[in-house]
Amino acid sequence: MPPLDPKTAVQLIPVSQFTDEQLAAIYNRTRVDYLMPMQMDAARLGEYIKTYDVSREHSMVARTSGGEMLGVNMLGLRTGRAWLTRLGVIPNTRRHGVGKLLMESLMQRTLDLSISFFMLEVIKNNIPAHQLFLNLGFYEVGELLILRRSPLTQVVDPIPADALWLDHSEALVLAGLDRGTQPWTNQSETLSNTSELSGLRLTLADGSRGWLAYQRRDSMLTRFAFKTEAGDPAAVAYALLLHVHSRYPHLDTQVENIRLNDPHLPAFYRMGYVEAFRRIEMWHGTPPSAMQK
């Protein structure tokens, strides 16, 4: 690609002007050489936009004045905070400042909405993107784990407990409870936007108790959200996982963005989960007070 000046030769077009089929095609072109390509079809992209409160009006596709597609960046908006996600530039058009232009444009649009706190995640060892975010003033918060568990992993009998299985409406109540600051993908709004959400409350013989909200979609369990109300979080989470996997022994499982310091994390390893990859969580600005519980 010949040199271009992104400030004069690049047009930024709102995502709202593209169909989900067109948008998925552009996005997939930006990911063809990624270690984790994470390709999307139109249906999955539409669900992503809905689940994560992505603004079609404020998310942007970059293209040349001649109509050549360059890249895309999406913006999630919630009260007092914004999420920059799915930044991608088509491989043969990189190193021309398109990614920086997209990021700066979305950040300015967010500031114009009086929101000054930004969140994002970047795959660990994606050095160019990581460096771009640092240059834009983002700082590292910590590492996030993406964990998977095969349905072939053996499950032992559940720990005896008073178990209450919850339907979608009951699980939505759990979704609104405070779990402290969470990555965007695990926040209460995300759970509330999720279809097929279910839940489980457990009280163990020693009085420990807690709950788990989760999503069952097709042949997979995903989107786990824990809350320990009494007792050791690792022990409560292990009991919850035992019950869930005993109920769904033939389902694959993937959970995303579990923080390294999450007190429930040891339960995952005890249940046979393995690490797929890691992301680095980054913030820009000061979290609103509602997120600092």
> DSSP per residue over 136-198, as a string?
TT-EEEEEEEEEEE-TTS--PPPPPEEEEEE-HHHHHHHHTS---S--GGGSHHHHHT-TTEE
Q: Residue 99: what residue type?
A: G
| CA angle at 13 for the pair 7 and 16, rounded to the nearest 5° | 160
| Model pLDDT for residues 4-41, shown as the tens digit of each residue | 666 568 999 999 999 999 999 999 999 888 777 688 99
Q: What is the pLDDT of residue 293?
A: 39
Q: Terminus-to-terminus CA distance in the chain, angstroms?
A: 49
Under CATH, which number does the domain 6-116 receive?
A: 3.40.630.30
Residue 141 near residue 194 (C-beta atoms within 8 A): no
Q: What is the pLDDT of residue 290?
A: 60
- Cα–Cα distance, 111 to 117 (Å, whole number): 9
SS3 at position 62: strand
Asked if domains 6-116 and 147-278 share a fold, the reply is yes
The distance of Cα 97 from the centroid of its chain, to the nearest Å, equals: 26
- Cα–Cα distance, 215 to 252 (Å, whole number): 12
Q: Judging by beta carbons within 10 Å of its beta carbon (0-12, 13-18, 19+), is residue 61 exposed, middle or buried?
A: buried
Q: What is the pLDDT of residue 97?
A: 94
pLDDT > 80? residue 189: yes
Compute, in degrees rounded to 10, the torsion defined by CA atoms 124, 129, 135, 140: -20
Edge-to-edge strand order for the sheet containing 81-89? 10-14, 60-64, 69-78, 81-89, 118-123, 274-284, 139-149, 252-259, 220-230, 209-217, 197-204, 161-166
- Cα–Cα distance, 124 to 136 (Å, whole number): 18
pLDDT > 60? residue 120: yes
| Model pLDDT for residues 235-288, shown as the tens digit of each residue | 999 999 999 999 999 999 999 999 999 999 999 999 999 999 999 999 999 998
Q: What is the pLDDT of residue 292?
A: 42
Q: Percentage of the chain surpassing pLDDT 90?
A: 84
| CA angle at 183 for the pair 107 and 39, rounded to the nearest 5° | 75
Under CATH, which number does the domain 147-278 receive?
A: 3.40.630
Residue 283 near residue 117 (C-beta atoms within 8 A): yes
- Cα–Cα distance, 19 to 289 (Å, whole number): 37
- Cα–Cα distance, 211 to 216 (Å, whole number): 16
Backbone φ, ψ for residue 6 (5° rounding): -60, -25
Q: Which helix (H) or strand (E) holds 241?
A: helix 233-247
- Cα–Cα distance, 180 to 293 (Å, whole number): 5
Q: Which helix (H) or strand (E) holds 276?
A: strand 274-284
Question: Does the model's pTM come out above 0.85?
Answer: yes
| Model pLDDT for residues 167-187, shown as the tens digit of each residue | 999 999 998 999 989 999 999
User: Would you kindly state where each structural domain of the chain is located, as residue ranges?
Assistant: 6-116, 147-278
Q: How many CB atoms lie within 10 A of CB 147?
A: 20
